[in-house]
Structure 1
Amino acid sequence: MKFKQITMIDDCGIKEPIVEKISALSKSPLVIFNDTPDSKEEIIKRIGDSDCILLSWKTSISAEVLQACPSLKFIGLCCSLYDESAANVDIAAARELGIQVKGVRDYGDEGAAEFIFAQLVYLFQGLGQYQWKADAAELKGKSIGIIGLGTLGGMVATMAGQFGMKVFYYNRSRKAAAEQKGITYLPLQELLATCDVLTTHLPKNTVLLGETEFGYKKKNSILINTSLGLTFDKAAFSKWLSADKSSYAIFDADGMAPFEGEIAKMDRVISTDKFAGFTAEAKIRLSEKVLENLLAY
């Protein structure tokens, strides 16, 4: 057995038959919790003598918790891990204690990309609560700006091209391969002023858009966020949407957290309590990647 005790300390979204395969790696019976612990004391209690734990993005593990769990050797994040600063585990503290932390990535991008274009079609053609312009419109020929041209941003760019949209992007570094495919780089301010649709794909809780940036944003445009947490300053966003009565915003549950109570009530906001990237297929990909991390330990 790889581990003495594996515990899923919250609802990790792991699917069968992967649960059974994970159980086979634990000397003691696999322990599974299906709710989110509401305090650090409860987290510590659930971890107990486990040398391996699995958790979703909903639970945060602090240095204090790690220090209280001396048996812990491996933490498997059942969620994306792109950089330490955005992680829901104190990775620096884990490193000092000799605890390995592994996350996954690129498991929910397909569902998130499909969500974006489903919502755009509904808005452009007036199939839902709102219609973008007086007449129903096509995506073809409209401009889309992608902030963050990683895996998901790349998928969005490909789909946009298939709809006949003009595709632009802004990224910390230029993407030569993307530009060879006809995706045009623009500085951020120019991107904001140019595009009918702006979609943000940034690391967790990375705030890029403030009042200055919203001041450049094209009138009668659409902002989409499916990133983990807000990519904009809340006050600046509210001011922009209130001032430009012809603009819209689209969010899934990830994209409007922790703003959901206020944002869902705003006019011209299209939102859902569903996580666009957490489809049945995404859960299978997530489960397989989590298992790979355990086997690689």
Structure 2
Amino acid sequence: MFKKLVGIEPLELISSANKKLESFTETLILHEDQPSSAAEIVKRIGDADGVLLSHRSNLGRDILEQCPNIKYIGMCCSLYSPESANVDILYANSKGIIVKGVRDYGDEGVVEYVISELVRCLHGIGHKSDGSIRKPWSTIPREITGLKVGIVGLGKSGGMIADALRFLGAEISYFARSEKEAATAKGYRFLPLKQLLSENEVIICCLNKNTILLHEEEFEHLGNRKILFNTGLSPAWDAAPFEKWYKGDNAVYCDTLGALGNASILKHPNVNCLQVSTGRTQQAFVRLSEKVLANITNYFKKQ
């Protein structure tokens, strides 16, 4: 049991999960507002041996050095790699601090977002960012049937998007670190990145945070009259060649501003950004809560 467990910011856990947290600690403190500075985070942690946080705050070495009692850090958000995390995991581990995050709790909402926006684009439903009426992508409405779609990053969410689009009749190819046997069994083609960009009309980037694969040469292979989705937490591209590309006869779709990377282009007619995380659904909060609690339970089982 923790002596003191502190949630340093709003955690987006369901109420029953917050109640369950009480059983893991002698003292539970859950802050409902965002800390204004690193000094405020240190103050909130104090002598706590357990800390919970979301993706909004950073626990760097400078903070961890001032909080020597921490034994466990629970990230109530996605953790894919130490490099992309908002916690200095390598330093924490060097001090014997266990850091646990979660994965795959908001993917279903992202899949629905991609399908929804792609259908609206192909059929010409709704309005563009500049307020003009959207016209069908190919003059007359089209189905997803027969659409050539390339997935960049075939992890959990990329795989789910691929499966959903295949169900609707799309032809799927993908680029990943290596060819995936399960994807090949489904009939998905593994292609080098530049070939993938050239051969597909729709490209969907499903990459880890701070992973950039689309540089100037990649945009040259992508070419014109293409639809580009980014479902990651940060841009999958270099800013300069992307700016040149989206101003062509193309369309780009991101749910969050973090994925788009530039608020100044929100009004461009080729840019479509909801400025809302489509993975933040009612069901996602339940899955998040269950995984956060499971991480703490497993931590104590190993003590």
Correspondence for 2:152: 147
Deviation digits for residues 184-218 of structure 1, max 9, x if unmatched?
11111111011111001111111110111001114
Q: Are the structure 2 counterparts of residues 254 and 32 from structure 1 closer, same or farther at C-alpha, using a change threshold of 3 Å?
A: farther
Match of 2:88 among 87, 90, 106: 90
Residue 38 of structure 1: how far off its partner (Å): 2.5
Classify the secondary structure of the residue corresponding to 1:27.
strand
Shift of the alpha carbon at 1:26? Answer: 1.4
Q: Which amino acid aligns with 1:59?
A: S
- The corresponding residue for 2:131 is none
User: Which residue matches 1:263?
Assistant: 265
* Residue deviations 1:231-273 (CA, integer Å, cap 9, x gap): 111111111112x2x210000116525x241231222111112
Match of 1:213 among 202, 210, 218: 218
Task: Give the equivalent residue in structure 2 for 1:228.
Answer: 233
**Map of 1:36-115 to 2, 5 A cutoff?**
36-115=34-113
**TM alignment of 1:1-20, pairs within 5 A:** 2-20=1-19
1:253 aligned residue: 256
TM-score by length of structure 2 reads 0.93
What root-mean-square deviation, in Å, do the aligned CA atoms of Structure 1 and Structure 2 show?
1.2
- Provide the rounded CA distance (Å) in 2 between the counterparts of 1:231 and 1:63: 27
Contact 2:257/2:263 (8 A) holds in 1: no
**CA–CA distance in structure 2, aligned partners of residues 151 and 254 of structure 1:** 22
What SS does the corresponding residue of 1:5 show, helix, strand or coil? Answer: strand
CA distance in 1, matches of 2:17, 2:288: 10
Looking at structure 1, the residues matched to 78 and 163 of structure 2 have their Cα atoms a distance apart, in angstroms, of: 22
Seq. identity, %: 40
- Conservation of the 8 A alpha-carbon contact between 2:4 and 2:48: yes
2:244 to 234, 239, 253: 239
Tell me, yes or no, if structure 1 residue 157 matches structure 2 residue 162.
Answer: yes
> 1:275 matched to which residue of 2?
277
Q: CA deviation at 1:137?
A: 1.5
Q: Distance in 2 between matches of 1:280 and 1:254?
A: 21
Task: Give per-residue Cα distances to partners, 1:151-207, cap 9 Å, x unaligned.
Answer: 111101111111101101000111011111111111111110111110011111111
Equivalences, count: 292
The one-letter code matched in structure 1 to 2:210 is N
Task: Assess if the C-alpha contact under 8 Å between 1:210 and 1:232 holds in 2.
Answer: yes
How far 1:74 sits from its partner (Å)?
A: 0.4
Q: Distance in 1 between matches of 2:154 and 2:258?
A: 17
Q: C-alpha distance in 1, partners of 2:182/2:118?
A: 26
C-alpha separation in 2, matches of 1:251 and 1:23: 38
SS in 2 for 1:266: coil
Which region of structure 1 is more displaced relative to structure 2, 193-202 or 263-272?
263-272
Moved over 4 A (4+): none
State the AA in 2 paired with 1:5: K
SS of the residue corresponding to residue 2 of structure 2 reads coil
SS, match of residue 253 in structure 2 = strand
Alignment gaps of 5+ in structure 1: none
Q: How does 1:167-186 map to 2 (within 5 A)?
A: 167-186=172-191
Q: Report the secondary structure of 2:26's partner residue.
A: coil
Residues 63-90 of structure 1: per-residue CA shift (max 9 Å, x gap): 0100100111100001111111111100
Residue in structure 2 matching 1:195, options 176, 186, 200:
200
1:16 is displaced (CA, Å) by: 1.9
| Secondary structure class of the residue paired with 1:17 | helix
